[in-house]
Amino acid sequence: MKPRRVSPPISNYKIPDYDINFFWNGKKLTAKKGDTIASGLLANQQDIIGRSFKYHRPRGVMSAGVEESGALVTIGDGAYTEPNISAPTEQITEGLCVYSQNAWPSVRFDIGSILNQFSRFLAAGFYYKMFMGIPPFEWGRGTSIWMFFEHFIRKAAGLGRASRLADPDIYEHLNTHTDILVIGSGPAGIRAALTAAKSGADVLLVEQDFLIGGSYLSQPDKIEFIELTEQLTAKNITILTGTTAFGLYDDETVGLIERVSDRHENITQKLPRQRFHICRAEKIILATGAIERNYAFINNDLPGIMTVSSARTYLNRHHLLVGEQIIISTNNDSAYETALELKNAGANVTILDAREQIGDNLLQKIVSNQIHLYLGSAVAKAENGFNSASIKKIQIAELGKNGWQSAGSLRCDCLLISAGWSPVIHLASHQGFPINWSEENACFYSSGNSKTIFLAGSAAGIWNRQGCIQSAIDIFNIEANANDSAHQKMGGWDTPIKPLYEIRLASLKGKAFVDPQHDVTASDIRLAHQEGFISVEHMKRYTTLGMATDQGKMGNIIGLSIMADALNAPISEVGVTRFRPPYTSICLGALAGRHRQSHFKPIRRTPLDQWSLRHSAIMTEAGLWRRPWYYPEKGEDLNKAYIREATTARRSLGICDVSTLGKIMVQGPDATEFLNRIYTNPFAKLPIGKARYGIILRDDGMVFDDGTTWRLAENNYLMTTTTNNAASVMTRLEELLQVRWPQLKVHVTSVTDQWAGCAIAGPNARNLLTNCVDKPDEMSHEALPFMGVKQIYLKNIPCYIARISFSGELAFEVYVPSDYAPSLMQMIWQNAMAFDSCLYGLEALGTMRIEKGHVTGAELDGRTTIDDVGLGRMASANKDFIGKSLRSRQMLASPNRPQLVGIFPKDKSKKFSAGGLLNEAGKTNSHPLGWVTAVTYSPALGHWIALGFIEGGLQNTKDKQIILTDELRANFLDIEIVSPHMYDPEGTRLHG
């Protein structure tokens, strides 16, 4: 095969015509601007471009489009490496580096091709039958023998090698809306866009190729196309080239990937490499064309064999004549125009037509152009040359009385195939629209949904250009005359197609490929049938037909027909597997867009974030929040810092950012009733100016959330929630008010982000705040008793203040509008200097709450009841609340449920960790009795302490010897189960 450039015809379709350089396996080659990798390599006489998946057979260019299953390459270097590029679809840019893949040491000489010699043992499904034990009789047990083989199988499998480096390019997401989306810009697509635009609708025309035109580009005469492109400049038509509509999703949503820039040309412009459009349309026209098929005959995968239409594309678009001695094997009319064009370009052309007669019109043209024509003929076998992998000769099959029979041979350097056309109905299939088999046209087709999704042109099975164009116009006509059924019929050839899927002569042996990329052969399909894998889904999975990177675009139907033949049933009964998105493979980077690395998820910063960082805070993650973890002083690590912080707070004064707590305003005449229903404890009589701790259950009676709710006025409450559940509590309240209890007049508003808060805890808390108010008695116990709430000015900053305590100390929570938070904090911190004081973070907060036995998410994990955590007394017997009924189910009331306890090590010098298990001594070989949820060193108690759960709680473990088993840290301790209220159980410190 010696492809050569021919001079382009003189026309006013101007394309750039200059040389560019690219590299093929490191070797510098020259191509023309506008070349694809496939045309560029062909022009440089590269016949072997890829190696097949299983047998490593040499493969050349087999097509000129997305159906390519031979010429797969890797492009780019380093972090820009992109494997498995279909060579006919990728444009060559200056300096592009292209590499062969799945071959070693080189694509021309690949050691892996030795597998081809063993292919008789590698039939479909062979790996299900061996490798599980020691060969040859599969002795042994377990998985180690398989995993030994697997190691080598994995290395042999795979195609290209992906980069190990992060993709440095940028990808964008766009939300696109249009009235009419037209997919495909061939004759039907362009006409559909123009027709739709006439009505004034906004039209988006997308084309996967980097040029618009579709099949126009492959035709020699471009006059009509040039005229049309001028009309496409209408304002309401937007054209996106290099844009693949990869999937059709619900409600007319289409995923588009637009290839925007190539890094070589645009790296300085900071353009994204690709854009992922989520396109919503009112109506979608699928003018996606059709794909020409191959058929199965021996060695139908040799380099030098491609589809007829691809040779036409290479000739008319890339001015590349793919061979000198060309044989065309066809079963339909579509190949004849190409034959004439190839002949005119200087090739010797021979046509084998499987049909026994063709139209006079065609016949005359062929004869007058000195093209040899064999009717009733097809290829039985292709043969390569003595020292060349490319095709040199074919064995002909001829239709005789008893079917196909051998009929001599012909020499050639290129074989072009057209065994029919498959409309591209993938997108319609994504939505599950019916797919039917047309016997007459030997193809599957779909009609969309006839409301919003339409197919036009060859995608609708229409084979002539005028018919295609008319079908696009008809879509909009039918709309005008609702019941007009006079739309274009499928078909359009003078002589009908003669189905041709396989030529198989008993006298000839060899591999006839159905899916060349995966090396699925016709005999694999027959073996699948023999072993009972007769449904298309089974056949696909057993043979891997159609699961390669081209997803069976060319080969699937051959497989179906061979199975149909084996079953002696029509293809329509064998059925078709559902196409799945994406239509062609798409980069994960494009789907992820900018949501990568630090932008993977938003960071929620409290209004005090920067202030805390300036005060040496080390931050930690809490869900999406970033919170101060501890504030180290010089030389302190986490442990030293939190112990100092907790000690200081208990001794004198500590200040903590609590802005992440969920805050919800609950307002309206029925607010009190509402709160009374959602909290387990009574809220009906909460006085104005008071806060109350409450617990919310789920409907199933498990603890959902807890927090304090402050009554600010008669019908105005501020509810606080845990940090983690802020959003779900809000949603829950809205659901209750809008769906379940619409008669309640209550409005809820999330103010989590609007209000910032800080906790001021310790014996000096009141003294500090007294220094900040105008009148000292505003902060007296009488003016602000325990659980008291009021509005107050702290050094002229208006705040809400509540005397509530999570630490167990005399403590206050002060809330201000978020914008005031840094100045409030600064003011408080300045005034705190007068005292022995510190800032404390999440770790010290944890220490103090563990000492007090206060529960958080570690204990309230969605599996705990209110009784489990010892708060059963908070479940009112005198009123109804959510979860009341189901919380008392039999197992939930069992005294043996794990209950919250405090944990001390017997030896007070010992340290231990959360996640350790609680076991009865000597019983450590089954499920544990309990586990440790949270551990801290307690500065107040002078040793390590923990909270945890144990079956039966404190009561039932009194006479048992309980040990802590932490295999992870190799820590096994005698422990003492104590009340969870480990420090100041009487709560005297709350009052200062």
Partner 1 sequence: MIQIICPFCGKRDHSEFSYGGDGEITYPALDANEESWHDAVFLRENIYGRQIETWQHIHGCRSWLLVDRDTKTHEIFSVKLAHLDWHILLEKNR
Partner 2 sequence: MTRFSAWNVIKNGFTGQSGWSRQWRDPEPKSHYDIVIVGGGLHGLATAYYLAKNFKLTNIAVLEKGWIGGGNAGRNTTIIRSNYMLKGNREFYEKSLKLWENLSHELNYNVMFSQRSHIGLYHTANALDAASRRYNIMRQTGSDAEIWSRSDLEKKIPHLNYAHDARFPIHGALVQKRAGTARHDAVAWGYARAADKLGVDIIQQCEVIGIKRNARKITQIETSRGSIQADKIAFAVAGNTSRLWQMAELGNLPIESHNLQAFVTEPIKPLLDQVVVFGVAGAHFYISQSDKGGMVFGGDIDWYKSYAQRGNLPIVQDVAECALSVMPCLGRVKLLRHWSGVVDMSMDGSFFICKTPLDNLYLNAGWNYGGFKASPASGWYFADLIANDRPDEIIKNHDLDRFRRGHHIDERGAGADPKLHG
Per rule CB under 8 A, is residue 968 in the interface with partner 2? Answer: yes
Per rule CB under 8 A, is residue 227 in the interface with partner 1? Answer: no
Listed ranges 14-22, 530-538, 859-867, 874-882: which one lies at the site for partner 1 (CB under 8 A): 874-882
Please state, in angstroms and rounded to a whole number, the distance separating the CA atoms of residues 427 and 286: 8
Per rule CB under 8 A, is residue 140 in the interface with partner 2? Answer: yes
The 701-740 contact track toward partner 1, x by CB under 8 A, reads ------------------------------x--xx-xxxx
Q: How far is the CB of 759 from partner 2 (least distance, A)?
A: 20
Q: How far is the CB of 923 from partner 2 (least distance, A)?
A: 10
Per rule CB under 8 A, is residue 966 in the interface with partner 2? Answer: yes
Nearer to partner 1, 481 or 743 (CB): 743
Pair 98, 74: CB distance under 8 Å: yes
Q: Match 């056949």 to its residue by tokens.
A: 539
Closest C-alpha among 685, 691, 719, 687 to residue 705? 719
Contacts of partner 2 in 736-795 (CB under 8 A): none
Closest C-alpha among 664, 686, 678 to residue 736? 678
Q: Please name every residue paired with 934 in a beta bridge, in sequence order, or none if there are none.
A: 947
Question: What is the DSSP annotation of 516-534?
Answer: TTTTEEHHHHHHHHHTT--
Q: How far is the CB of 845 from partner 2 (least distance, A)?
A: 13
Q: Work out what residue 734 binds among partner 2, partner 1, none; the CB cut-off runs from 5 to 8 Å by kind.
A: partner 1
The DSSP letter of residue 282 is E
Per rule CB under 8 A, is residue 742 in the interface with partner 1? Answer: yes
Question: What is the DSSP annotation of 360-425?
Answer: HHHHHHHHHTT-EEEETEEEEEEEE-TT-SSEEEEEEEEEETTEEEEEEEEE-SEEEEE--EEE--
Per rule CB under 8 A, is residue 230 in the interface with partner 1? Answer: no
Listed ranges 24-32, 481-489, 522-530, 780-788: which one lies at the site for partner 2 (CB under 8 A): 522-530
Q: Please name every residue paired with 329 in a beta bridge, in sequence order, or none if there are none.
A: 352, 417
Q: Please name every residue paired with 705 in a beta bridge, in sequence order, or none if there are none.
A: 696
Nearer to partner 2, 1 or 590 (CB): 590
Q: How far is the CB of 624 from partner 2 (least distance, A)?
A: 5
Per rule CB under 8 A, is residue 130 in the interface with partner 2? Answer: yes
Per rule CB under 8 A, is residue 409 in the interface with partner 2? Answer: no
Q: Work out what residue 86 binds among partner 2, partner 1, none; the CB cut-off runs from 5 to 8 Å by kind.
A: none
Residue choice 227, 230, 251, 959 for contact with partner 1 (CB under 8 A):
251
Q: Which long-range contacts (CB under 8 A, 24 or more apart) does 164-170 make?
A: 165/78, 165/79, 166/79, 166/597, 167/79, 167/80, 167/587, 167/589, 168/79, 168/80, 169/80, 169/263, 169/272, 169/273, 169/274, 169/589, 170/270, 170/271, 170/272, 170/273, 170/594
- Give the amino acid at 934: A
Nearer to partner 1, 698 or 943 (CB): 698
Nearer to partner 2, 773 or 858 (CB): 858
Nearer to partner 1, 27 or 578 (CB): 578
Nearer to partner 2, 53 or 501 (CB): 53
The answer to whether the peptide bond before residue 136 is cis (omega within 30 degrees of 0) is: yes
Per rule CB under 8 A, is residue 889 in the interface with partner 1? Answer: yes
Closest C-alpha among 930, 944, 938 to residue 900? 930
Per rule CB under 8 A, is residue 40 in the interface with partner 2? Answer: no
Per rule CB under 8 A, is residue 596 in the interface with partner 2? Answer: yes
Nearer to partner 2, 704 or 755 (CB): 704
Contacts of partner 2 in 896-955 (CB under 8 A): 913-917, 919, 924-928, 931-934
Please state, in angstroms and rounded to a whole number, the distance separating the CA atoms of residues 748 and 717: 10
Q: Residue 128 has which token pair? A: 């299900």
Q: How far is the CB of 116 from partner 1 (least distance, A)?
A: 46
Count of residues in contact with partner 1, rule CB under 8 A: 27
Contacts of 526 (CB under 8 A, 6+ apart): 562, 566
Residue choice 27, 198, 411, 580 for contact with partner 2 (CB under 8 A):
580
Per rule CB under 8 A, is residue 136 in the interface with partner 2? Answer: yes
- Give the amino acid at 138: E
Contacts of partner 2 in 846-865 (CB under 8 A): 858, 861-863
Pair 868, 644: CB distance under 8 Å: no
Nearer to partner 2, 5 or 863 (CB): 863
Using DSSP, state whether 78 is helix, strand or coil.
helix
Q: Work out what residue 881 binds among partner 2, partner 1, none; the CB cut-off runs from 5 to 8 Å by kind.
A: partner 1
Residue choice 372, 538, 605, 790 for contact with partner 2 (CB under 8 A):
538
Contacts of 895 (CB under 8 A, 6+ apart): 952, 955, 956
Per rule CB under 8 A, is residue 595 in the interface with partner 1? Answer: no
List residues binding partner 1 (CB under 8 A): 249-253, 278, 280, 432, 677, 699-700, 731, 734-735, 737-740, 742, 880-882, 884-886, 888-889
